[in-house]
Structure 1
Amino acid sequence: MLEHLDAGAVQRWCAGTLAELRRWQREIDALNVFPVADSDTGTNLVLTMEAAVDALGSQHAGTARDAWTRMARGALLGARGNSGMIVSQLLAGAAAALPADRPVRGRALAESLRAAVTAGYEAVVQPVEGTVLSVADAAARGAVEARSDDLAVVSAAALRGARLALEATPAQLAAMGLPEVVDAGGRGLVVVLDVLDAVVRGAAPAEPLTSAGPVEAASVVNGVQEGWEIQYLLDVPADADRRIAALRTRLSEVGDSVVVACADAGVGLWTIHVHAHDIGAALEAGLDAGRPHQVAVEPLITTGGLNGNPHSGHISGALSDAARERAVVAVVPGAGLAQVFAAAGAETVEVAPGTSPTVDALLAAVERSGATEIVLLPNDSAHAAVAEAASAAAGADRTISVLHTRSPVQGIAALAVADRERPFRDAVVSMAEAAAATRWAEVAVAEEAAFTVVGPCRAGDVLGLVDGDVVAIGTDTLAVTRDLVDRLLNAGGELVTLVLGADAAPALGDALAGHLRARWPFCETHVFDGGQPRAVVLLGVE
């Protein structure tokens, strides 16, 4: 029986937690119904704790706080999924509250668990009861109410409180219209606290475990895509409080299940998680706050619910183990771009300027493709809702994934990496990442006088727009386009795509390519004759 936690105890707890999460991984996956029933919570918690074990290493040097801090930082940097993010933030909050100048006994552990709950609720933009946060709160209250400095008494009280709270989660989830099962993230936290209690009682593995290699990924068959899970690390410069507050607001507008946690305050490193339909918008929110990197994107594919049976949601096997018919359906403005996309193998749906395709037109293209796995590229934010409606109406005999491409150049980037030989889910993720990594802009001629964010324009003025917003006004198409390209490349880039519209001068493509060779010699440039009716030039930078 331990009287206090030391670095060795923390190391055994971390390794033992990984072992137990591996043991219960598939059961926890099967319990996963909130926030999305995508059957991966157990897998994500295992991957998160693998990162914690790797960060902690095998050294017992330092205090319990030192070891716990290394473990928490590793978990934060390697956090996977909504629950992995929250559990890692709970660990970080607890680590920050541990005493550095005295042994960690019962009361110190109770205070750290209370601090963990505060950190967890602060990281989640819209906390929901009946989840891992509720279980963490009950564990902390149990530990504090034990009013003891005996480490074993407090760890047992925390575990008991967590188990009771977990038993209450089915009713809380049912109140949200979800199946009556215990919360998957809460179940994972009970495993974490169970191992902690075992370490305190001397019942944990004596030797640390090392990573056992890749974890078998959770996957589903015949699921329905509900959007994307987007995670990235974010370097935030000075004025972090203001930037992070604005980021939380923006991400809440873009999607849900938003978790924003500080991974390392010393260097301004944050870890970001959001569920959204628009990958680009989620990344652009990060760009406004700092520098995103290590971006990870996964499709949210639901299994259709558990109907009260904690094992009925466990579906194994790859999404597309066998080669199946696959197609890309793209919405394009005009016959020229239709030829560009068709040449790359896409089924196209042409639309006139200012109009959207109909659901019937998209379904007809899906039928023409003859495929059972389809990636749908709307190529304009205005077309996204129709694309989602077509996906929902397509029937259960097809798997359709809608990538929320907001410009044809993002669609071109996605199509360039489409790989029919890869499993469908992997191929879709690669296409989504390529589209999201493409900053887009366009050059158009003003049809009437108007006020813009950079000043008034007159009919006939040449406008440079980035992500739909006017950033430059001029009278010369080449000059405005060069300015726009330079603006985009000043933020970095390796590949420039130029799509010339119907009103582009014959020499414009050569002039722009010459500018890029002279000013940006290390960039690869692709020029297409798109013939689109409104934008004189569409630009994409990857």
Structure 2
Amino acid sequence: MQTLNAEKLKFIIESASNKLFNNKERIDALNVFPVPDGDTGTNMSSTFQKAIQLIEKESFDTVGELIELVSKNMLLSARGNSGVILSQIFKGFSNAWSSLNNINIEDFINGFSMAAKTAYDSVLKPVEGTILTVIRETAEELAKIKVDKNSTFNNVISIAVQKAQNSLQNTPNLLPVLKEVGVVDSGGEGLLMILEGMKSAIEGTKVEIDLNSTKPLVIASNTEVYSGEFGYCTEVIIKLNEPDKFVKNKFVSQVEKLGNSMVIVNDGNLLKLHIHTITPGKILNIGQKVGEFLTVKIENMTEQANNTKSNLEGIKSYEATKVQPTKKNAIISCNAGSGFINIMNELECDHVIEGGQSNNPSAQDIIEAIDIVNAENIIILPNNSNIILAAQQAAKIKSDRNIKIIPTKSQVEGITAIMNYSPEIDIEDNINEIESSLKNLIVGEVVQAIKNTKIDNVKVKEGSYLMIMSHKIIGTKKDSLSASTALIDKMIKSNKKAQILIIYYGNNVSEIDAKKIEKYVLSKYDIEVQIQNGDQHIYDYMFGLE
């Protein structure tokens, strides 16, 4: 195989995406932080799958036409930092191949060089020991190959996979937190899966999606569309009320008769279910009897199937649409939990994008919000470190607007930001005012650990409660209340001039629980305390001290 045409490259790209999909939950499990996070594997797979959906039923005359569409849709669908970096890797492939009808081995190797360069250029402060290192070292290894008449794509991709494996295994030596926790970089692992999927296709066997995989916590992506199947793709994650008494076979017998394509996995106190059904309400009723919903996703497969073609045309014509701004300033915020969303709306946020921890909005979601607010100057509050790159990506795409990203990493920071925002004043003055207010804020969070690990020199036991101050784990306690009071003591000690503490309680606790914390603080400190219902899904409590 000395050249690749569009159909062969499409075959390779689909195989790569499917290999990533089949391993996404295992990649998620490599997450360093011992709480449900942005889920690297899920974000990368979602980013890739969106692009694949729009090419799977299409034919292409040239490699350039194919890779440009894949790259463009990846840019729009990118979720989380890992998804954004993956989209930039494919942007590099597109930069190298967009003008080509077919690609030869030298073009293929050059594509990896461009992929590494574009990925590095997209990150303000590249960190070694991550997916960036793996793509760079792989590209550097391929660049050493002296291409001659005996060179084959099989040899080149084999070298790429081997180098990526070696680079991945070395990531803990470059990034101390990986060595401390004892894992390799999850983004790098995702890239390795992509390369292995490419290798399989180049050798003649396309990797197919495996919905019956027995890997831990595997569920189907919410982006799937099945030809010939209609109804609703229903996915739920349930926190079991009594995991020791839960009988999986009994639950399966109740659910399986209501649909098909079912995948169900019970892992500790979590139950994950994916099913195609025409009665999602019945599924939810059965699920609610055994526990509390952590996430619920219901997608209309009929509507998705009907819209796939029109979505493709919409992507192709996206940049042709230009709407003149109707107002001077606007602010957009990413929030999760009905309480936080209500607070942001009450503070007159121009648009709230629903999504955050473990449910990162895509660049496309942010672009749509930019279009909705339709302002000349726009401030975006990501409110999660895993959304910042997607927001930056959206800002690049919407270059006709003056968009400023304030890199807020928590919803508490987002609320402080909007409280110091005024639509009437100049955008730069707003930025200065918000950044100044954030310097005086200390954020605290209490959340239950989902695994045993050691991070930031703190030994973490699964089921214990983490005390997180300014995005760093400072200790653990056996219960949520003691973790909260100990954390607040640390927060107030670090800022003895603080005047107000705001308690945002999540849906795992109640206002009564929050009032116990309030009583403790008022008995010990001369400080004002406010209680707000954040209704967040993961963190029991979030605190803002200023």
TM-score category of the 2 structures, normalised to the smaller one: 0.3 to 0.5
TM-score normalised by structure 2 residue count? 0.48
**Structure with larger Rg:** 1
TM-score normalised by structure 1 residue count? 0.48
